[in-house]
Every structure is written in structure tokens, then in C-alpha cells.
Structure 1
Amino acid sequence: MDHAQPKLDFIPPTFNPFVLRMVHLSLPMLQRFRVQPWLPAGISPIETVNGETLVDLYHQFQNNKIRLILAFRHCEVDDPLSGLYLFSRAIPKLARQQGISLQSPIHSHFMYDRGMTIWAGNWLGWLFAQIGGIPVHRGKTLDWQAIKKARELLVNGRFPLTVAPEGATNGHSEVVSPLEPGVAQLAFWCVEDLAKAKRVEQVVVVPINIQYRYINPQWSKLDWLLSKLEADCGLAKSIEVASTEKPEQFYYQRLLRLGEYLLTEMEHFYRHFYHRHFPDLPQSLSREENLTVRLQNLLDLSLQVGEEYFGLKQKGNIIERCRRLEEAGWNYIYREELSNLKSLSSLKRGLADLIAAEASLRMLHMRLVESFVAVTGTYIQEKPCFERFAETSLILFDAIARIKGTRNPRRPRLGWRKSRVTIGEPISVNQRAIAYQQNRQGAKQAVAQLTHDLQIALEKMIV
């Protein structure tokens, strides 16, 4: 982003059933073909587990017995395809099988990152608005416009509300990142808003997990991707795998070598150009443990570069620090006080552009950290399956593409995948609201406990 921009306006949801119908009809094509460079697609079939629970919840919702929050795991950009299939195909079919009459369309409002419209295009903001999406300026500490609209739809909306409790994708089907408190806070606000309106509906949160499996793992495609990454790094290809050797061990060694090389290069980069000091590590660490500790040190120091530029304190976990950096960067680029950039003098416009360009570069450090927020040196070692090899390789692909300056890189497709959507046990919020309403400390603990229980529920659904 080389130029200052006016503030990002809120895009109000304007649900249009015709547009939703078109999206539902196009789903088979969206599953099969890549409609954007950053969408791998290639997903079929989509399996639903415990869908009967969601049928019952939708029936209760449509009969004004409950208000419903769907807490979807969102591990990668393809997840909305599974959600669309769940609403447009799976739930209506299961309802018919059970003899339950549900009003059409089966759908949900949803919250999405306002920043998506920046790198994907304004058309995405229009589409999301037409199908009931609520944009969240994720960098803001509290986006009151989004919160107000979410609370309004939670209480009076025609559909339930879908929220991704992790706040961002982590690229791992089998790792749930620490949850943000937004789902729990919205749930308790909904209880309060219903009470003020003298309504008796119960508030329910249902955890929903999405997990992917490759149907026919194609090691040759993984080999191609690793060869590309090795070429980008200037590394010669490793020795060929012997016909009797397990491919897992061969590709594991290649990924380890790539990871260690990238770490060494990035450590040199920050040491030489940003004057950072990396601590010495104990010799007793295994190769995988060494990789994990070095990566965590690198992420920490990378965030420090951005934090020092924006004058931020090092506070909270990696994800919380990323969000504060994003907020600071957006404030430098999308200037609320500059409503009419054309009225600025050439000098002031030049200075505003300079600040925006510098902020954009500083935010790149945070974007690289985001890519690796869930990566460890032991993830593949713990379970050396093709899926984990593929996930880690694609994360490396994204990171190298960012460093190369590639805009919206075309992610490689490593084969057809099947998606497994699991509906968890509903979590009733009303009884928990008693503690929430006692005092500020009680509210804080209630939010933390509900967030913790939701985290455990999502983790238990991983198979």
C-alpha cells in the first residue's frame, strides 16, 4: 500500500435472497474450480457429522425458542465452501429425512474481516453484503459499528450468526489456535439484550469443526512444491527417495532443511538490518525442539520491529500483538481525519503517502508472523501424514511469496480433498449469564470460562 487512503466505510448487510440462491447454485463449480488465485478449491465430497443436532437447533430458532451463534472453526480460506454446502444441501436433506419442516433458505449471517475487500476487491464486499455478511475492522480494538449490527441481528435477525472464534486462519486442520473472546461476549450481550426486550428465547452457542483429508495423497505433487520452494531459496534438491524408503521420512528431512534454512536467513536479516540479538540455545535440544524455539524467538523479534515503529508495548500473546499492530498500521494508512484526500496540498499528500508506505512495510513483518502462528517443529513428527506435510509446505509457500512480494499468489493444488464438518454439542449460555451479570470480575471470568469450554469442544472434534 503506497498511498494514504480515506477511512474504510462500514458495509451494511443488505440480504438479497436472489443473490444467495445464485451462490448456492454455483457451489458445485466453486468446489471444483479455482475462481481466485488464493482459492485452492478441489473439495469433494463434504461429509456432515451430527448434522441432526443442527437441524433441531434451526427448528427451535425458527420457532422463536432460541437465538443461535454458530462458532465455526476457520482454518483456511476454503472453509466457506463447506459452510455453504452445510446450509444449502446437508441440513435441508437431513430435515426432510427426519420429517422436520424448515423455512427456506437455511442460512446464517456471518462476520468477516473488512480487510478481505482490500486484497480481494470491492466486489467481495458487495457479495458479502448481499448474503448477510457483517464486516469487522479487525484491527480496531472495538469496532462498534460491527458490534452494534451483530447484536441487532443476534436478537432480531432472520438467521443465526456465524463467527470464527479464532479470529484468523492458521492453516492447520488439526490445531485450534487460542480463541478470541468475541463469541462469548456476543452471547452474553445477546442474553442481556433479550432480557431488556422482555423476551424469553434461550441463547445457544454451537461449536462446528471443519477438517480436511486428501482423498488420494499425491506425493509427486508435494515433491514438485518442495522443489519449487528449494529453488526459491537457492537450495539444491535433496537426494532422491529410494524405492524402498518411506516417502514420509524423505519429505520430512526436506521440510526440516527448508525450515532451518529459512530461519537462518531470517535471523541474519533481522540481526544485520534491524540489529536484533537472538539468544543462544541449549545444546541439549533436539533438532525439532531447536527449530520450534528459534521460530518463536524469530516471531517475537519480528513483532518487536513493528511495535517499536508504531510505539506499541509488547503485551499479550502473539495473536494479540498481531491485532494491535494491524490496528496501528491501518490507522496510518486509512486516515479517518483525512476525509477528502484530494483537498490536501501536494506536500501533505506526499507526507501521508510516505507514512502509508512505511506502515505497509512494517505491517509485512506482522503478516509473516501470522503465517507461522501455529507452526511448530514437531507438528509433522507427531503425526507424519500427507495432510500435515501439505499444510506446512503451503504455509512455507505463502511466506516465501510474501517475501518475494507476490500479490495474491496462486496456491498450488496438491490433490482433491474431502471436508468433514462436525456439529458439536450445543452450549447453553443463559445459566452462565448469572455469573456474568454479578460484577465486572464475574463477567470477565464468565467470558473466559465460556471461551475455554468452546476451545475444548472444538479440539475434541478433531480426529
Structure 2
Amino acid sequence: MASSMTQAQPPLAFIPPDFSPLVWWMARSLLPFRLRQTCGIADIQIANIEQLVTLYHQFEQGNVRFLLAFRHPTTHDPDCLFYLLSHALPKAAKRQGVPLSPQTHAHFIYDRGIPLWAGGYVGWLYSKLGGIPIRRGRADTTSLRVIRQKFASGAFPIAAAPEGANNGHNEVVAPIEPGIAQFGFWCAEDLAKAADCSETGMKPTPPVLIVPIGVQYRYLSPPWRQMEQLLRQLERDAGLTSPSHAPAFLQDGTDPTEAQKTNLYRRLFRLGEHLLRLMEHYYDKFYQAGVAVQKGAPTHASSSTDDQVTLSNEEFSRRLQALMDTALTVAEQFFGLPSKGNVPDRCRRLEQAAWDRIFREDLKDLDVISAVERGLADRVAEEADLRIWHMRLVETFVSVTGNYVREKPSAERFGETLILVWDMVSRLKGKSPFPYPKLGQRRAFLTVGEPLSVSDRLPAYRSNRRQAVTTLTQDLQSALEAMIQS
């Protein structure tokens, strides 16, 4: 959270979508520059775009409603999706001779917390681009009502990231949240109900679809030298000295030798192991959390030059999961929350608990309370902001295991893991991790998947709602995983 969150705030207001064609046009015009300069994306390749052209044409004819469910490995995915819809889609439609409206766009769902750390102007921009904010830690009735209305009758399709947040992994799909499937069934129900109330002779109810969109990235020139430099910086920040016998002469665009790759992996794993021990010691000493600290393991290594690691990948993964559970439990105990559910659910509950103490529903006019009351409110907000720090650390490592790089020591996997470690180390230093380091120019690969019919599942939904939502969610997870290119 931004530093301003250490003071009590008025209730967090809903930002209504207010699409502006002029703002859309300006954003579209600036997008290629933003992709190159800010996102580091030099090229975007799209597979099966012809299917998306057909879907948009059918949508504009009133013959279908659909939601674009896109993968979310990085913070730049929405920019790529915007390019797909505003640049690539019209060009493909023109090649196919299919008429589309001048503005091919989508109402997109975004986390209400983004404008808090990215800046208030982002909330304004997202509103003018038709975005719909949602608070993920509670039943956000206002947002859900708007999403439901836009899905059933909005001027554009809906777009959302079913993983809920970016997981930092190019080739791992985080667990899909059930909200996307639920939105689809709501839309199908609303359209069926509207058809029942309409006069006879009207056109058939349009089918409702969920269209999976795969997103991946590859470096144009693998930035091995830059990654080694970033690794060296992280080692220094963590109190580790880079091994003196580290293979030198790494060059961007040139694959390292097997010995160099092995050395880089050992250093990366050693860094992770060292940070793991530090954090275990931190929670054990200062929170009496009872984390299993390895017997005899040092808690600092300012002069270490040994690149050997002592943990197996499996043991590292197990202890990392235990550490994340401990960090969440520390925050949950402060907020008085139960330690139940999966990690994403626990993170969302903690975020909402912090927001409840920062954005005070019971103090709608902070200007009329006394100075003492305001001071107490600020203290509550400050404590909430400090305690949610534990959750932010966990949020970064939800999809991390000890095997991701070892299974495939590619430049992409090395880079992704280094960025995650950068995020953690920055937070441990008390700094913002944004913007992330730019390691090299990338090419984005977007794949339009086969649509999943929601309407065909409506009878099953009416029979057993929970099971139908679970099944559709699992099918969407499988569809997104099937589009990952190794």
C-alpha cells in the first residue's frame, strides 16, 4: 500500500465505468509506445485471431454474449489484451472482410486496490476505458451488480483474469477463482429470464460463452548477463557474497554453458535458501511462531562465498509453504481472522480486514471528528498497514515451488524467479518493488482458445449450482493450461 494508507481514509468509493470514446482513442494511439518503452514488449503474435473476429461480429449482431478469460502472468497482460482488441482485431477483421464497429473493446474487471498503489489517475483512466472495479475480499454487491448488467446487456464483451492476480509465472496457471464461471451463469440466467418475459416471435436467446485467452512471453535476446547482474545485486542486498569462482563472460543473447547454468541455478537456490532461513528466524524470534528453523543454520552470511546448498528442492518447497502459512497466521491473529481456506482466499480476507480499518465506513466525515479521535483512527490505519505487509510477502510467492527453474532452466524461468525475489527483497528493505527491473525486450504470444459454452451447462447449473460452477472452473483451468507452450 502507498504511504498515505498510514492515515485513516473515508470509505472506499465505487468507481463507476464511464466509457469515453475520446479517452479510448488516445489510449489506443499511445499503446504501441507504452508497450515498447514501459512494458518492454517489442512484438505481439496472436494465434487463432480469426475466431475472435467471428465472435465480435456475432456479438455486434446481438447473437452472442461472451467473457474473455485471459491468463495473468505479469502486470503487462492487460496492455497486451488492449492491443489485441484495439489494433490486431480490426486488422484481422479487415483481412477477412468482416465488418466491425470502429471501437472493438471490452469492459474489464480490475482490482479496486490498483488505484491505491498506482495512483488516483489510474482509477479515472480505467473508468473512462469502461473498467469495473471489484473488491475481492468481500461480497462487493455494487460491483457484482454492474458486472452482471454489463455482461448481459453492455456495449462490449467482458474481460477478466480468472487467476485473480498476476502470479509471476509464464508457464504455471494459478488456481482459477470461481467468480468467472458464476458471472457466466448469471448472464445465461438473466438472458433466459428476459426471453421468458418478452413477446413471442423474438429472436432466440443468444448463447453465453467464456473464451480463454493464453498469454506468454519470450525474450527476443535472452538477457543472461543482465540476469547475473541482478542476481549479484540481490546477493549483496541479502548479505551474500557472489562466489569468486562464478563463471564469467555471460553475454546477452548467447546461451550459457551447462556449467554456467548450473552455477547460476546454485546461486539462485542458495539465495532463496538464505532468505528462507532469515525469514524463519525472523518469525520464530519476534513472533514466537514456531517455524521449523534448520538446526545449526546461520541466520546471516555477510561473508559467505560458498555456493553449495543444503536443502533439497522438495524440502525447500515444504518449508516455503510452512513459512507462508506462518506469515498469514501472524496477520490473521492480529485481525482476529480464522486461518482457513487456501492461500488466495486468506490473502483476500486479510486485505479486506486491513481496508476495513483504513477506509472507515463508520467515520464517513473525518473532518468533523475530534483531533484525538482522528489520531486514534490514524493509529488503527497505521497498524493495519504494517500488519498487511506479511500478506503482501505471501502474495508474491503463491505459485513458487523449488522445482520451477530446475525443471527447465530457461532464460524466462530464471528471469521470472529473479523478479519475484526482487519483489520480496524490496519489501524486506521497506521499499516499493515497482517498477520491476527491465531485463530485456520480449515478444508476447496470445492465443485465442476454443469457447466454453455456459448456456449448454445452464440445466446442470439449475440442478446443482455449486457443482456446475466447480466443473466450469475446472474446465477453464484445463483450457488455459493446455495453451501453455513449453
TM superposition score normalised by structure 1: 0.95
2:484 maps to amino acid: I
1:408 positional shift: 5.2
1:93 positional shift: 1.3
Contact map agreement 2:216 2:445 (CA 8 A) in 1: yes
- The match for 1:296 is 321
The reply to whether residue 446 of structure 1 matches residue 462 of structure 2 is no
Matches within 5 A, 1:329-340: 329-340=354-365
Contact map agreement 1:54 1:423 (CA 8 A) in 2: yes
Deviations 1:264-297 (A, max 9, x none): 0000000000001124789xx9611111111000
Q: 1:260 aligns with which of 262, 273, 279?
A: 273
Contact map agreement 1:281 1:290 (CA 8 A) in 2: no
Q: 1:21 aligns with which of 15, 25, 30?
A: 25
Q: State the alpha-carbon separation in 1 of the partners of residues 133 and 166 from structure 2.
A: 16
1:8 positional shift: 0.8
- SS for the counterpart of 1:71 is strand
Contact map agreement 1:13 1:133 (CA 8 A) in 2: yes
Q: State the alpha-carbon separation in 2 of the partners of residues 255 and 390 from structure 1.
A: 11
Q: State the alpha-carbon separation in 2 of the partners of residues 128 and 393 from structure 1.
A: 30
Contact map agreement 1:3 1:354 (CA 8 A) in 2: yes
Q: State the alpha-carbon separation in 1 of the partners of residues 46 and 291 from structure 2.
A: 47
1:407 positional shift: 2.9
- The match for 1:181 is 178
- The match for 2:11 is 7
Q: State the alpha-carbon separation in 2 of the partners of residues 303 and 354 from structure 1.
A: 22
Q: State the alpha-carbon separation in 1 of the partners of residues 433 and 282 from structure 2.
A: 24
1:138 positional shift: 2.1
Which segments of 5 or more consecutive residues in structure 1 lack a partner in the other structure?
A: 35-40
- The match for 2:206 is 201
- The match for 2:143 is 146
- The match for 1:165 is 162
Q: State the alpha-carbon separation in 2 of the partners of residues 276 and 241 from structure 1.
A: 40
Which segments of 5 or more consecutive residues in structure 2 lack a partner in the other structure?
A: 196-203, 250-256, 296-309
- The match for 1:287 is 312
Q: State the alpha-carbon separation in 2 of the partners of residues 381 and 57 from structure 1.
A: 40
Contact map agreement 2:423 2:433 (CA 8 A) in 1: no
The reply to whether residue 118 of structure 1 matches residue 149 of structure 2 is no
Distance 1:72 1:254, change over 3 A: same
Aligned-residue Cα RMSD (Å) equals 1.5
- The match for 2:222 is 217
1:200 maps to amino acid: T
Deviations 1:292-330 (A, max 9, x none): 111000000000001111111111111111111111111
Q: 2:126 aligns with which of 125, 128, 150?
A: 128
Q: State the alpha-carbon separation in 2 of the partners of residues 248 and 92 from structure 1.
A: 43
Matches within 5 A, 1:38-187: 41-139=39-137, 141-187=138-184
Distance 1:240 1:281, change over 3 A: closer
Contact map agreement 2:281 2:293 (CA 8 A) in 1: no
Q: State the alpha-carbon separation in 2 of the partners of residues 147 and 245 from structure 1.
A: 52
Give the number of aligned pairs: 451
Contact map agreement 1:119 1:408 (CA 8 A) in 2: no
1:346 positional shift: 1.4
2:154 maps to amino acid: G
- The match for 2:478 is 456
Q: State the alpha-carbon separation in 2 of the partners of residues 452 and 10 from structure 1.
A: 31
Q: State the alpha-carbon separation in 2 of the partners of residues 126 and 408 from structure 1.
A: 23
1:449 maps to amino acid: T
2:420 maps to amino acid: I
Q: Which moved more, 1:387-396 or 1:50-59?
A: 50-59
Deviations 1:22-58 (A, max 9, x none): 1111011101213xxxxxx110110001111111111
TM superposition score normalised by structure 2: 0.91
The reply to whether residue 235 of structure 1 matches residue 248 of structure 2 is no
Q: State the alpha-carbon separation in 2 of the partners of residues 117 and 89 from structure 1.
A: 26
Q: State the alpha-carbon separation in 2 of the partners of residues 85 and 409 from structure 1.
A: 23
**Identical counterparts, % of pairs:** 49
1:342 positional shift: 1.2
- The match for 1:38 is none
Q: 1:393 aligns with which of 396, 418, 422?
A: 418
Deviations 1:119-150 (A, max 9, x none): 111100000000100011223x2111111101
Q: State the alpha-carbon separation in 2 of the partners of residues 152 and 60 from structure 1.
A: 19
Contact map agreement 2:396 2:424 (CA 8 A) in 1: yes
1:406 positional shift: 1.1
